[in-house]
Amino acid sequence: MAAVEGITSFEPPRRVLMGPGPSDVHQRVLDAMARPTIGHLDPEFVRMMDELKELLRYAFRTRNQVTFPVSGPGSVGMETCFVNLVEPGDKVVVCRNGAFGGRQLENVERTGGVPVVVEDDWGTPVSLGKLEAALDANPDARILSFVHAETSTGVRSDAAEIAALAHERGALVIADTVTSLGGIPVLVDEWELDAVYSGSQKCLSCTPGLSPVTFSEAALDKVRARKTKCQSWFMDLNLVLPYWEGGARTYHHTAPVNPLYGLHEALLMLVEEGLEAAWRRHAELHAALVAGLEELGMSLLVEPAYRLPQLNAVCVPDGVDEAFVRTEALRRYGLEIGAGLGALAGKVWRIGLMGTSCTRANVDLCLEALSTLLPEAAAK
């Protein structure tokens, strides 16, 4: 018993979140989540979910019937796409130019798919030439997967061109838009992406734990025609399609009721701002951040043409203790910036400008913190 004595309610500190996610959650979203929990089959909840589906279609720029938030973080949305679309023996071309492409490869292996990896250096986009060669060498490939916005490096790949190359050869396209959705254009219908997953906590600025997904008719045809059962019960689309296609609203799992209120509110805020205006805000404040970083003598990892406005991989200057800067930014400024991941650990900081975190005040705070901490970190 003694071990729990002295434990009181948890009061998180105030932070400014400028890392690779989660981003700052607006008070409106937090307030929405604090509203009374109702039953997930309550007609009023079902009505809210119908609106949520419309709001997600707006964000994804799609008319896809099957567009909904998976109950789970972005990683669960990812698995939902792979376990449903990939059947044992299916050949899948996987583009890997960072950590999240590596996870897609893991998924293909675990679902019994036969991967063909198109490898590009961290910090560069998916090479269309290499991809075309891989597709031509593997005309039996059924699926292609890629990461639109590589959060490990800050690189944007050309989703429209990648999807076009796959479709010319009859392959379906799985796209990771976890970091792109809401920050840069994600045009699901125009680009004809087939299975798309995202996350609630990056540019949508809801709390972590929900993963918006959307599926084209071609993707659903493949799922419906499976010869083997989906290896996951929870993620098996064939079990939830009736719900999302407007049929019976029956029990599959208990929906995370309050987080879904939050996502509804976050998407409503995106509609109020306007998707194009949100993309513009990310682009403009990214430009302001980069200008300030360059004034401080710093450079970015990625070529300007492929930079993500919402995730800036900033090279750690020689002789600077990068961990000191992050630790002191958090301690003195309440400011979280991200460390490098995998191959870039210790080499870059990842400064996020995602959703609600993407403000002029935050850009200024980050530049102020860096201008103070960099000289200290270099002198150590």
Ligand X SMILES: *Cc1c(COP(=O)(O)O)cnc(C)c1O
Binding site for ligand X (CB under 6 A): 21, 73-75, 78, 100, 147, 149, 151, 176, 178-179, 199, 208
Residue 339 burial (CB count, 10 A): 17
Q: How far is the CB of 47 from ligand X (least distance, A)?
A: 27
Smallest separation (angstroms) from ligand X to the CB of 176: 5
- Nearer to ligand X (CB atom), residue 67 or residue 179: 179
163-171 CB contacts, 8 Å cutoff, 24+ apart: 163/191, 163/192, 163/193, 164/191, 165/128, 165/131, 165/132, 165/135, 166/93, 166/135, 167/192, 169/135, 169/136, 169/139, 169/141, 171/93, 171/135, 171/141, 171/142, 171/143, 171/144
CB of 99 to ligand X, least distance (A): 8
**Residues near 21 by Cβ (< 8 Å), separated by ≥ 6?**
151, 178, 179, 199, 201, 202, 208, 352, 354
Instruction: Compare residues 60 and 100 and give the one whose CB is closer to ligand X.
Output: 100
The two tokens of residue 117 are 């990896």
For ligand X, give the closer residue by CB, 220 or 341.
341
Question: At closest approach, how far in Å is the CB of 299 from ligand X?
Answer: 23
Minimum distance between the CB of residue 107 and ligand X, rounded to whole angstroms?
Answer: 11
Least CB distance from residue 197 to ligand X, whole Å? 8
By beta-carbon proximity to ligand X, the closer residue of 120 and 176 is: 176
Supply the minimum distance, in Å, between the C-beta of residue 6 and ligand X.
32
* 131/149 with CB nearer ligand X: 149
Instruction: Please say which residue, 45 or 215, places its beta carbon nearer to ligand X.
Output: 215
CB 262 within 8 A of CB 33: yes
How many other C-beta atoms are found inside a 10 Å radius of the C-beta of residue 154? 29
* Alpha carbons 113 and 107: distance in angstroms, whole number: 8
Kindly tell me which of 115 and 338 has the beta carbon lying closer to ligand X. Answer: 338
Residue nearest to ligand X according to CB distances in the complex? 74
How many CB atoms are located within 10 Å of the residue 247 CB? 9
